[in-house]
């Protein structure tokens, strides 16, 4: 490389997004980039000329290892959608003025669907206006809902955390006996896709019966059938654990979490806060069955728990970052790095480039045939798909009993 590289992070944070950043930095340096800049808070920050020289922050090999183990976006993230080029050329002129001034040869953006939309628009603009900068996207989302890639970095670590936590919750549920039993509802992220919620099935193994029911947002949720299922389970066992996606909906399209929303849960702007699926269902079951119930939301923990990251996930995130820089260096633009799976067992994968026009704003859902007929559990195909992605550990660097992160004051 002859010029400089700039990298940004965008969208919801994950436990793996910084490993991609580490991969970008390392490969850019290896390939001779003079400077590697980091946009602060993505394209939104860049528009405000907020960026840093990464070599002032990543000073040695230990820093790279710490960065891989640091959750959330090290550079800060944003949720910002670029206007269409014909709507507002000024924004594009501003961005390219900055990129040209910084002599940016490669622009790498790590994120999900919206971020790939950014790559698409910037690379289109560069082609139309004959700018030299090349634009490559790096996939990242715990939701795993990006099209054309087998899976996305961030998903494997979240799945590992979910499988482990649900297993610990199941163990906890069995050990206290309540006269009429106990039903635990675990709420897992995923507004439209059930990739994360399905990972609750990873709790199942030789030493754990796994959750009893799993409900994904891809299929309509029927409270009456659910209640019957629970009653039947409670005839046989004292502790029932149910994994539900935050986004499950009734057949008429209403979110389950809206059913229980009281005025208390309208925020300052008058928006209904769409949380509380587990709370609502726990109360619903208590009323229907008359047993003790518990609601547990895995919430932010499931996307931030780098202390329990998957080694496969962290390494792939790192590789994907490196592959993005390599692609830009070799002249590609308007592409996203995707992960191809060659084999489930032994697991083998590699990276490839796909045209970002075919990816942006798409959404990959769990296939219908990966959920059982009743819509109450994932199938073996789902398990075969997810299991390789949670393998191996990345030992946290423990300092004084707590995992160490690479820190940059905000």
Catalytic residue numbers, as ranges: 143
Count of positions on this chain that bind its own copies (CB under 8 A): 91
**Closest distance of CB 330 from its own copies, Å:** 31
Interaction between residue 203 and its own copies (CB under 8 A): yes
Diameter of the chain measured on Cα atoms: 73
**Closest distance of CB 222 from its own copies, Å:** 20
Interaction between residue 164 and its own copies (CB under 8 A): yes
Interaction between residue 233 and its own copies (CB under 8 A): no
Residue 290 gets the label, from left (phi > 0), alpha (psi -120 to 50) or beta, of left
Only segment of 91-99, 104-112, 189-197, 279-287 that touches its own copies (CB under 8 A): 279-287
Among 31, 35, 307, 341, binds its own copies (CB under 8 A): 307
Q: Measured between alpha carbons, how far is residue 327 from residues 19, 124, 147, 352 in Å?
A: 18, 17, 20, 9
Only segment of 51-59, 118-126, 131-139, 202-210 that touches its own copies (CB under 8 A): 202-210
**Closest distance of CB 379 from its own copies, Å:** 18
Nearer to its own copies, 250 or 301 (CB): 301
Q: Which of residues 283-302 bind its own copies (CB under 8 A)?
A: 283, 286-287, 289-301
The number of CA neighbours under 13 Å toward the Cβ of 131 is: 26
- How far is the C-alpha of 291 from the C-alpha of 185, rounded, in Å? 13
Helix axes 223-236, 277-289, angle to 10 degrees: 60
Interaction between residue 272 and its own copies (CB under 8 A): no
- How far is the C-alpha of 325 from the C-alpha of 23, rounded, in Å? 9
Among 131, 310, 319, 333, binds its own copies (CB under 8 A): 310
Among 8, 13, 211, 321, binds its own copies (CB under 8 A): 13
**Binding-site string for its own copies from residue 71 to residue 100, where x marks contact by CB under 8 A and - marks none:** xxxxxxxxx---------------------
Contact 36, 322 (CB under 8 A): no
Among 134, 140, 160, 364, binds its own copies (CB under 8 A): 160
Nearer to its own copies, 18 or 27 (CB): 18
Among 225, 232, 237, 254, binds its own copies (CB under 8 A): 237
Helix axes 17-30, 61-68, angle to 10 degrees: 150
Only segment of 132-140, 146-154, 227-235, 271-279 that touches its own copies (CB under 8 A): 271-279
- In the beta sheet, which residues pair with residue 344? 347
Only segment of 204-212, 216-224, 319-327, 366-374 that touches its own copies (CB under 8 A): 204-212
Interaction between residue 52 and its own copies (CB under 8 A): no
- When computed from its CA atoms, the radius of gyration of the chain, rounded to whole angstroms, is 22
**Closest distance of CB 241 from its own copies, Å:** 10
Nearer to its own copies, 40 or 116 (CB): 40
347: CB partners within 8 A, 6+ apart: 312, 341, 388, 391
- How far is the C-alpha of 159 from the C-alpha of 213, rounded, in Å? 17
- How far is the C-alpha of 168 from the C-alpha of 5, rounded, in Å? 43
Interaction between residue 154 and its own copies (CB under 8 A): no
Interaction between residue 238 and its own copies (CB under 8 A): yes
Interaction between residue 165 and its own copies (CB under 8 A): yes
Residue of 346, 348, 358, 343 lying closest to 316 (CA atoms): 348
Residue of 82, 138, 164 lying closest to 318 (CA atoms): 138
């Amino acid at each position: 490389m002859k010029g400089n590289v700039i990298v940004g992070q965008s969208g919801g944070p994950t436990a793996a997004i910084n490993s991609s950043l580490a991969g970008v930095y390392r490969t850019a340096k290896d390939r001779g980039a003079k400077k590697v800049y980091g946009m602060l808070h993505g394209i939104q920050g860049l528009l405000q000329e907020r960026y840093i020289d990464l070599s002032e922050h990543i000073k040695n090999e230990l820093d790279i290892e710490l960065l891989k183990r640091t959750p959330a976006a090290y550079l800060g993230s944003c949720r910002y959608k670029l206007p269409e080029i014909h709507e507002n050329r000024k924004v594009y002129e501003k961005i390219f003025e900055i990129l040209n001034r910084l002599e940016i040869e490669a622009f790498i953006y790590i994120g999900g669907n919206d971020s790939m939309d950014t790559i698409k628009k910037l690379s289109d603009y560069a082609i139309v206006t004959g700018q030299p900068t090349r634009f490559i996207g790096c996939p990242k989302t715990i939701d795993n809902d990006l099209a054309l890639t087998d899976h996305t970095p961030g998903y494997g670590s979240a799945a590992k955390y979910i499988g482990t936590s649900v297993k610990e919750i199941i163990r906890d549920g069995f050990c206290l006996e309540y006269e009429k039993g106990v039903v635990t509802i675990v709420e897992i992220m995923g507004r439209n896709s059930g990739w994360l919620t399905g990972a609750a099935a990873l709790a199942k193994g030789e030493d754990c019966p796994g959750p009893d029911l799993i409900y994904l947002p891809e299929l309509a949720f029927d409270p009456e059938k659910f209640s019957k299922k629970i009653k039947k389970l409670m005839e046989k066992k004292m502790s029932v654990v149910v994994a539900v996606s935050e986004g499950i909906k009734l057949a008429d399209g209403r979110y389950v979490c809206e059913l229980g929303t009281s005025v208390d849960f309208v925020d300052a702007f008058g928006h209904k806060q769409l949380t509380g699926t587990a709370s609502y269902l726990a109360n619903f079951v208590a009323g229907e069955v008359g047993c003790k119930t518990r609601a547990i939301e895995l919430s932010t923990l499931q996307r931030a728990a780098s202390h329990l990251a998957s080694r496969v996930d962290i390494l792939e995130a790192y590789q994907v970052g490196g592959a993005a820089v390599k692609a830009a260096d070799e002249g590609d633009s308007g592409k996203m790095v995707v992960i191809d799976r060659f084999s489930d067992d032994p697991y083998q994968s590699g990276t490839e480039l796909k045209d970002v026009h075919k990816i942006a704003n798409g959404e990959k859902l769990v296939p219908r045939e990966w959920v059982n007929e009743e819509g109450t559990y994932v199938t073996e195909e789902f398990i075969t798909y997810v299991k390789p992605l949670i393998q191996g550990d990345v030992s946290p660097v423990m300092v004084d009993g707590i995992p160490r992160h690479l820190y940059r004051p905000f």
